[in-house]
Structures are given as C-alpha cells and as structure tokens.
Amino acid sequence: MRLAHTMIRVTDLERSLDFYTRVLGMTLFDRMDFPAGRFTLAFVGFADQPESSMLELTYNWDTHEYDRGNGYGHLAIAVADVRTTVEAIRERGGTISREPKAMNAGTTVIAFVEDPDGYPIELVPER
C-alpha cells in the first residue's frame, strides 16, 4: 500500500498551479475538467505515480472562499537543506510564515511557507 494523494480545495487554480510548480518546483502530472460537475482536478507532485504521492488541487468553479477549519494541520515536504530551500522560495515570491529554526522541544531545523490560499507547508530535512 501507499498514500496515493492528498486533496486540498483551492480558490484560484492558475494561481495555485503557479505556486506549486514555479515556486515549489512540483510538476503538473494531470489536469481534468468536469464541466457537468463544474470542477477541475489538478495533480501535482515531485515524481509521477506510482513512485510518489501526489497533491490533488480541487478547484470548484463556483466557490471562491473556504474555511480551512481547525482540524487541518499542514502539508510537509522533505528537502535537502531547509535554509537554502527557504531562500529559493523567497526569491520566487513565496511567503515564508516561519523562518528556519529548530522545532519546538527539538533540534531539527524546520520552516513553514504558505500557499496562495493560506495552507501551511512545512519544510523538513530529508532523512
């Protein structure tokens, strides 16, 4: 078994695709429009399935705002170097919501960035 994908709802698909592909460096692997249901699904990731999990961006054509609620935590991306990745994201216009520093009650350096809809993304060192 493997985790196939995680889904989040986005309010502007093109803006979100720009963030995930240009700012974070993911690849768009599939995009499907469903006119009868008035929604689009876009699958992005760092490697094509079945080798890797995907992130499904769901764009509901008639919905322009969501309440993320208090149960959502964050997405996490493992990177070679947290500080270098933060600087690259900053240079590409990404929003850094927590600068690189040791995590609470630990020594592992982590950072957080936000996607265009405010979803937090944790940057963690590769293991």
Specify the DSSP class assigned to residue 19.
I
How is residue 80 written in tokens? 């070679």
Contact 39, 59 (CB under 8 A): yes
C-alpha–C-alpha distance, residues 108 and 121, integer Å = 16
Note if 122 is an active site residue: yes
Query: For residue 66, what are the contacts with CB-CB under 8 A and spacing of at least 6?
Result: 9, 11, 117
Q: Choose, from 99, 114, 122, 126, the residue flagged as catalytic.
A: 122
- Catalytic (active-site) positions: 122
